[in-house]
Chain A
Amino acid sequence: MMKYFRPSTVDDVVAGLARGGVLLAGGTALVPVLLSKAGTDTSLLDLQKIASLNKISSDSQFVRLGATVSLTALHSSSLVSSELPALAEAAAAVGNPQVRNAGTLGGNLATPHTDLPPALVALDAEVVQAGPGGEFSQPIEQFLKSGATGLITEVRVTRHPQRRSRFVKYAWRASSGITIASVAGAISLDGNGTIIEARLAAGGISTKPCRLSGAEKVLLGQKWGEALLQQAARAGAEEAVADVAHPPGEQYRRYLVASGIVQVLKDMIKA
């Protein structure tokens, strides 16, 4: 029997989850799946009534993003655009206006092949979940490995005034394009222009985003230069796991990862 609930507190959701409920936020990914599977026996827990989840805020340590914040809100937030440009760009790259109006941050984390997760990996975000034992926080990569076990309440990113970040997506159609490959990057430079922090991730080429640590190693401790950029691109394209079953093929997706690395690094240096 399909049932619909609209809990008003996080505790109610956690209790509902314990009884096997399924979380429903924007529904852009979930609703088509529900409709295509005849005979689903589920309790839907609609999160729209929980106002605390739909907030963007910051304190001295973190930028805090609620789980049901919409993609439109993410890319039009001046806080996100100025401090986490990679995330704003990733949010703007998803689907089309109506999908971004409905789609949420939490929903995107639940479907990790989408555009937000690589940006969050590059930004070294933390995912906060509420479970029966209370709230707990995980680094994004660990979260992506284990998947959501409770209710995602918040994604928080440590504030780094020096950090630059960028996101680029390759899709054949300019709107509602399926990601063929995406690259997100974040770097910090010291006063001499040496790269002291580099994080790169590729998306769209596998079921989950892929951290490009080899390319990061190439960059770390180096000064900016065209040759360095090409070297990082080559390393990143080589290490990327591209295993999507449908076309285009693996080789082409690796080319795009290389192009994406070059693109985001250039953009970040320019910024």
Chain B
Amino acid sequence: MNLAENSTTQVSFQVNGKEISLSVSPLTTLQQALHRDLGLRDVRYGCGEGVCGACLVLLDGKPTASCIKLAVQAGGSQVVTATGLETALPEAVRDRFRCLRSNLEASAAFQCGYCACGVLVAGAHFLGENEKPSAEEALQALSGNICRCTGYRQMMESVTAATEGRQTVGSLAARPDIVEKMGADEGYPTDRHSGEALVGRVLWSEYPSASILEIDVTGARSLPGVVAVVTFKDVPGKNVGGTMTFAEDQPLLASDQVRSMADAVALVAATSDSAALDALQKIRVRYSPRPPVVDPAAALAPDAPSIGAHGNVVSQFTEENGDVDSAFAVADLTVEGAYHCRGNDHACMELEGGSGWMEGDTIVLELQSQNPYAAVKAAARQLAIPEDRVRIVSSRMGGSFGKYLVAGVEGFLAMLVYVTKKPVRLVLSREECLTRRVKRHGTMAQYRLGLKRDGSFTALEARILADAGPYVSLTPVVASLLTTEAAGAYEIANVRVDCKGVLTNNLPGAPMRGFGSQQANFGIECLVDKAARALKMDPAELRRKNYRKRLENRAEQEKSGSPPAAPNVWLAKTIDLVTEGLGARPASPEGWRVGRGVASSQAKYGYPSGMVDRFVARLQVDGSGQFVLESDIPDAGSGSTHGVCQLVARTLKLNQPPRYVLSQDCVSDPSGTLISRGRRPSRLAGFVFHGIERVQTIYSGRLHSITSRFAPHTLARFMRWSGFSINIFNRLMNWLKASFFPYSIDSFNPRISGSRGMLMLGRAAQQAADNLSKLAVNMAAKQLGASADSLELGNGGIYDRTNPSRRIAWAALALQNGGKLSAVGESHLPQGSLFQSSTGNQVGPVDFVYASHGCDVAVDPATGRVKVLHYVACHDVGRVLDADAVRGQLLGGITMGMAQALLEDLGMREGKVGAVGLHDYLVPSSLDVPGNIDLHMIESGTGIGPDGAKGIGEIAAVVAPIAIANAVYDALGVQPTAIPITPEQIVCEFMSRTGAPALV
């Protein structure tokens, strides 16, 4: 029986005080009725299991997961959603609720904000139930609200203060973005429901590796309600999907092979979800399955089946400094180890997907993307239409963490809209997000470290394998960064690194919060602890002794105008504060073992040398005095665009920050002429620009494909020999772009990644603000008959310092200038080389953040449970531009990193993910985060961002899992060599090796 045939029932309930009568199917959930049918976008959807709390409403006064409640069950009840709380709450609670809302705003308690409305519901109920609650009760009350971004601290502080009726003061006066996220506007890509939209669904591969013998869609096509069934045969252009930066090896829809569980075989668009599901079931695919290759080491074996066209190694990088073999030969001590990062899910709270529709002959896609240009390019190629007929709209995302740097569902959605010419909504389920989509690259690394008796490091050898999954995607970038960061925070004269990106039949790899830094640092930092143990030396002391003394790319950094940093000075400060903060060792709970771990990291932010990285921003004020900041940079969930607006407000001394607008113009105009000059680029310019990028793509793709087949030492020799010519080529391309496309936006690179939102967009916006203020001051000088030197910004305009009553408002200036006044700013990385010509090594990232973390943990030998007793983190953030936002990023990163060390296990088996929902992929709750995380921020002022700020979005998640692993090592005396560390492993594997008597 088809669900579409279900009888509809009339259901009446009160929603936010209004009597509502609605016709629903018995299987319509309350969440669907509220969000889709009644347009209440404050009732979001995250898991469909009642775990995450994004859909919380008050049902007859009780917090209820509306995703697992049928609408009919709510018949006759009172429903209150987040936006209805204020009026629905009893008078006595209302004030404290207002206080909660204002505290959440003031403390920047949300980043992506997807969980915000659910948090308000749980928080309001808690305030109503408890007169004088404890902090523990508050944690309990919010334990059903999963927040992936923030680590809960600011949220809990807001609740606690609200229970006392206390308003907290944040580092900024107002945060309009957070107010929006606590509201019911249609802000997230999955918020859109249009009445006539078709439902899109994907038929995924049944096997991680198989040949497809036959795809038969005739049964599915003839079903009622099915509008389109699409296979590879229906792709009008090139059947290429995925991220095409380096290779076009990933089909949009599988034709003769499936290489992972993430491969799509067919797409369906239907008038209802049930019809779409029926159609999926009616598509007959005959496979001839093969045993999958799931171990990157096994994929290297000479007789391993070849997954790609040119073998299983898709990129390889080497680094060689000094004389490694001789250094090992004379080393007093050599330690080695193999370290394994198993990979993670990004677990963004918003499900992946969105909507697409036609506007004239243009396909508009509203979905999550950190790289809209690449998405446009891919969609246009697959549909064989010009790029200006595809537009990506993604103003806000419910989390990203790097996931949306690689292509997702945009190709599927574009295809379905193109075929049906109708609006289509395609949103993956949580199970699909977990089991069918990209994961953080798993790595297996073998490390060897040579030391002198006094503890100084003399030699390092690292062999790293990064699990790419079945396609090249962005693996070369990850492999390149793994190589340059393999030595971590340490000065080692003799280093040899070989890193390979390897194809397997696992899920495709994707960058995630750290872009390789977490995996690279995990290996070296675990090994340093092993060395400390061998030397009987304090691990913090051993680190202090070996920190890097100079920044490799100092020259590059100086070019960018900021003072050079000496890493060891700042790293030593971070570890000093951490060891001091940890203090005396805590007492061990009865029967538990206590351990202390530290970790230090030098992790990149921003782009490596030799890449073109340009951001453009336009700042405009209109006749009503409203400021708008425009750029093409989506907010990937960190709230960075809001931070940039605050920066502008500070520069121009505005009371209200400008509104940020994602410029649609930019997205359809990679040459940037539209935003910078307000006119369309000529066809020729667009053609030439794309030509340059095409050449770059082919060249770099070929280079990776060729060099990945070399033996490591041959590659090292090759790079020494050819690094020079690669640099020449790269510089030529960059020069062409820079000279003839002055505002060119490089679609070759993702737009928002690498903790560079504040860094690059911030600098562009700052320049736009400076330019606008110059323009305005000159206009005002003429107007007021004053000298420009005596004029100052402030009081909503420009005034004469010597006579403040002589003043002209921004609005007036704009009106005089024909209704608007605008200025453009840009920021770019200095032009540099990709490779050092003397060594052939990569030049690598231009700047780094320094951090140390330390923690005390208790391990229960009987259950394997690890409790974090005390956590101290210290970061050099360059400059604190917005203390609450920085704090949120760092605490959120620590929480994510801890969970990746202890909780988040994908349960990979034979190429398949075992975790199918948020009930078994364990994103931490408020109760899993230790209450006493001490955070120290150091302002070195040496960053390349505005005022010497650094990009800090990723670093905390890089260091945290290592500090935890090292503390577990200290507690048990057995080193965990893989993350996540499971309690089962601790009990069954480690405890037996510690000589503890078995309990059973």
How far is A98 from B46 in the complex, measured between Cα atoms in Å?
14
Contact between A98 and B903 (Cβ–Cβ < 8 Å)?
A: no
Q: Is B248 an interface residue (CB 8 A)?
A: no
Q: Is A218 an interface residue (CB 8 A)?
A: no
Q: Is B231 an interface residue (CB 8 A)?
A: no
Contact between A27 and B70 (Cβ–Cβ < 8 Å)?
A: yes
Contact between B50 and A95 (Cβ–Cβ < 8 Å)?
A: yes
Contact with B along A35-66 (1 / 0, CB 8 A): 10011110010101000000000000000000
Contact between B25 and A2 (Cβ–Cβ < 8 Å)?
A: yes
Contact with A along B974-997 (1 / 0, CB 8 A): 000000001110011000000000
| Shortest Cβ distance from residue B427 to the other chain A in the assembled complex, whole angstroms | 14
How far is A4 from B25 in the complex, measured between Cα atoms in Å?
9
Contact between B988 and A255 (Cβ–Cβ < 8 Å)?
A: yes
User: For residue B863, which residue of chain A has the nearest CB?
Assistant: A259
**Interface-lining segment among B109-117, B345-353, B924-932:** B924-932
Q: Is A256 an interface residue (CB 8 A)?
A: yes
| Shortest Cβ distance from residue B647 to the other chain A in the assembled complex, whole angstroms | 37
| Shortest Cβ distance from residue A167 to the other chain B in the assembled complex, whole angstroms | 16
List chain B residues, Cβ under 8 A from A41: 1
Contact between A35 and B922 (Cβ–Cβ < 8 Å)?
A: no
Q: Is B56 an interface residue (CB 8 A)?
A: yes
A1-58 contacts to B (CB < 8 Å): 1-4, 6, 24, 27-28, 31-32, 34-35, 38-41, 44, 46, 48
Q: Is A237 an interface residue (CB 8 A)?
A: yes
Contact between A32 and B68 (Cβ–Cβ < 8 Å)?
A: yes
Contact with B along A205-249 (1 / 0, CB 8 A): 000000000000000000000000000011001100000001111
A86-102 contacts to B (CB < 8 Å): 95-99, 101-102
Contact between A252 and B984 (Cβ–Cβ < 8 Å)?
A: yes
User: For residue B920, which residue of chain A has the nearest CB?
Assistant: A178
**Interface-lining segment among B140-148, B254-262, B513-521:** B140-148
Q: Is A174 an interface residue (CB 8 A)?
A: yes
Contact between A173 and B48 (Cβ–Cβ < 8 Å)?
A: no
List chain A residues, Cβ under 8 A from B65: 28, 98-99, 102
- Most chain B beta-carbon neighbours within 10 Å: one of A28, A32, A48, A238: A32
List chain B residues, Cβ under 8 A from A138: none
Q: Is A258 an interface residue (CB 8 A)?
A: yes
Residue of A28, A248, A251 near B982 (CB, 8 A) is A248
Q: Is A156 an interface residue (CB 8 A)?
A: no
Contact between B277 and A38 (Cβ–Cβ < 8 Å)?
A: yes
How far is A48 from B865 in the complex, measured between Cα atoms in Å?
39
| Shortest Cβ distance from residue A190 to the other chain B in the assembled complex, whole angstroms | 29
Contact between A255 and B1000 (Cβ–Cβ < 8 Å)?
A: yes
How far is A6 from B29 in the complex, measured between Cα atoms in Å?
17
User: For residue A72, which residue of chain B has the nearest CB?
Assistant: B62
A143-186 contacts to B (CB < 8 Å): 170, 172-178
Contact between A173 and B924 (Cβ–Cβ < 8 Å)?
A: yes
Given A4-B26, A96-B51, do A237 and B988 touch, yes or no (CB 8 Å)?
Answer: no
Q: Is B308 an interface residue (CB 8 A)?
A: no
| Shortest Cβ distance from residue A238 to the other chain B in the assembled complex, whole angstroms | 7
Q: Is B714 an interface residue (CB 8 A)?
A: no
Contact between A174 and B863 (Cβ–Cβ < 8 Å)?
A: no
Q: Is B105 an interface residue (CB 8 A)?
A: no
List chain B residues, Cβ under 8 A from A32: 48-49, 68
| Shortest Cβ distance from residue B352 to the other chain A in the assembled complex, whole angstroms | 19
Contact between B914 and A97 (Cβ–Cβ < 8 Å)?
A: no
Q: Is A254 an interface residue (CB 8 A)?
A: yes
Contact between B862 and A259 (Cβ–Cβ < 8 Å)?
A: yes
How far is A21 from B549 in the complex, measured between Cα atoms in Å?
74
Number of B interface residues in the complex (CB < 8 A): 60
Contact between B999 and A4 (Cβ–Cβ < 8 Å)?
A: no
Contact between B51 and A176 (Cβ–Cβ < 8 Å)?
A: yes
Contact between A175 and B927 (Cβ–Cβ < 8 Å)?
A: yes
How far is A174 from B865 in the complex, measured between Cα atoms in Å?
11
List chain B residues, Cβ under 8 A from A96: 50-51, 53, 143-144, 925
| Shortest Cβ distance from residue B742 to the other chain A in the assembled complex, whole angstroms | 52
B1-44 contacts to A (CB < 8 Å): 1-3, 5-7, 9, 25-27, 29
Contact between B51 and A4 (Cβ–Cβ < 8 Å)?
A: no
B658-675 contacts to A (CB < 8 Å): none
List chain B residues, Cβ under 8 A from A4: 9, 26, 70, 72
Residue of A27, A175, A251 near B988 (CB, 8 A) is A251
Contact between B26 and A44 (Cβ–Cβ < 8 Å)?
A: yes
How far is A98 from B30 in the complex, measured between Cα atoms in Å?
14
Given A1-B5, A173-B924, A175-B144, do A255 and B999 touch, yes or no (CB 8 Å)?
Answer: yes
How far is A98 from B643 in the complex, measured between Cα atoms in Å?
34
List chain B residues, Cβ under 8 A from A31: 29, 68-70
Contact between B64 and A98 (Cβ–Cβ < 8 Å)?
A: yes
List chain A residues, Cβ under 8 A from B918: 176
How far is A95 from B65 in the complex, measured between Cα atoms in Å?
12
Given A38-B274, A38-B278, do A27 and B69 touch, yes or no (CB 8 Å)?
Answer: yes
Given A1-B1, A2-B3, A175-B928, do A255 and B863 touch, yes or no (CB 8 Å)?
Answer: yes
Q: Is B122 an interface residue (CB 8 A)?
A: yes
Contact between A3 and B925 (Cβ–Cβ < 8 Å)?
A: no
Contact between B927 and A174 (Cβ–Cβ < 8 Å)?
A: yes
Q: Is B75 an interface residue (CB 8 A)?
A: yes
Q: Is B783 an interface residue (CB 8 A)?
A: no
How far is A258 from B862 in the complex, measured between Cα atoms in Å?
9
List chain A residues, Cβ under 8 A from B982: 172, 248
User: For residue A181, which residue of chain B has the nearest CB?
Assistant: B863
Contact between B925 and A173 (Cβ–Cβ < 8 Å)?
A: yes
Residue of A28, A174, A249, A258 near B928 (CB, 8 A) is A174
Q: Is B134 an interface residue (CB 8 A)?
A: no
List chain A residues, Cβ under 8 A from B862: 255, 258-259, 262
Contact between B27 and A2 (Cβ–Cβ < 8 Å)?
A: yes
Contact between A176 and B144 (Cβ–Cβ < 8 Å)?
A: yes
| Shortest Cβ distance from residue A25 to the other chain B in the assembled complex, whole angstroms | 9
Given A173-B928, A175-B144, do A259 and B999 touch, yes or no (CB 8 Å)?
Answer: yes
| Shortest Cβ distance from residue A45 to the other chain B in the assembled complex, whole angstroms | 12
Residue of B2, B140, B865, B999 near A39 (CB, 8 A) is B2
User: For residue A35, which residue of chain B has the nearest CB?
Assistant: B27
Contact between B144 and A247 (Cβ–Cβ < 8 Å)?
A: no
Contact between B999 and A233 (Cβ–Cβ < 8 Å)?
A: yes
Q: Is B919 an interface residue (CB 8 A)?
A: yes
List chain A residues, Cβ under 8 A from B903: 172-173
How far is A72 from B144 in the complex, measured between Cα atoms in Å?
13
List chain A residues, Cβ under 8 A from B928: 173-175
How far is A16 from B70 in the complex, measured between Cα atoms in Å?
19
List chain A residues, Cβ under 8 A from B927: 174-175
How far is A44 from B53 in the complex, measured between Cα atoms in Å?
25
Residue of A24, A40, A175 near B143 (CB, 8 A) is A175
Contact between B1000 and A175 (Cβ–Cβ < 8 Å)?
A: no
| Shortest Cβ distance from residue B937 to the other chain A in the assembled complex, whole angstroms | 28
B736-778 contacts to A (CB < 8 Å): none
Q: Is B907 an interface residue (CB 8 A)?
A: yes
| Shortest Cβ distance from residue B914 to the other chain A in the assembled complex, whole angstroms | 7
Residues of B within 8 A of A (CB): 1-3, 5-7, 9, 25-27, 29, 48-51, 53, 56, 62-65, 68-70, 72-73, 75, 122, 140-141, 143-144, 274, 277-278, 281, 862-865, 902-903, 907, 914, 918-920, 922, 924-928, 982-984, 987-988, 999-1000
Seed contacts A38-B277, A173-B903, A247-B984; 17 additional CB < 8 Å A-B pairs: A2-B7, A2-B26, A28-B68, A35-B27, A35-B48, A38-B281, A46-B73, A96-B50, A97-B143, A98-B64, A98-B144, A174-B925, A176-B143, A176-B919, A247-B914, A252-B987, A258-B1000
Q: Which 7 pairs of residues, A with B, have the shortest CB-CB distance? A: A96-B144, A174-B927, A175-B143, A175-B925, A248-B984, A4-B26, A252-B984
Can you report 27 A-B residue pairs in the complex whose CB atoms are below 8 A from each other? A2-B6, A4-B26, A24-B70, A27-B68, A28-B65, A38-B278, A39-B1, A39-B278, A44-B72, A95-B50, A96-B51, A97-B63, A97-B122, A99-B65, A101-B63, A172-B903, A172-B983, A175-B926, A175-B927, A176-B50, A176-B143, A176-B919, A233-B1000, A237-B1000, A247-B914, A254-B1000, A262-B862
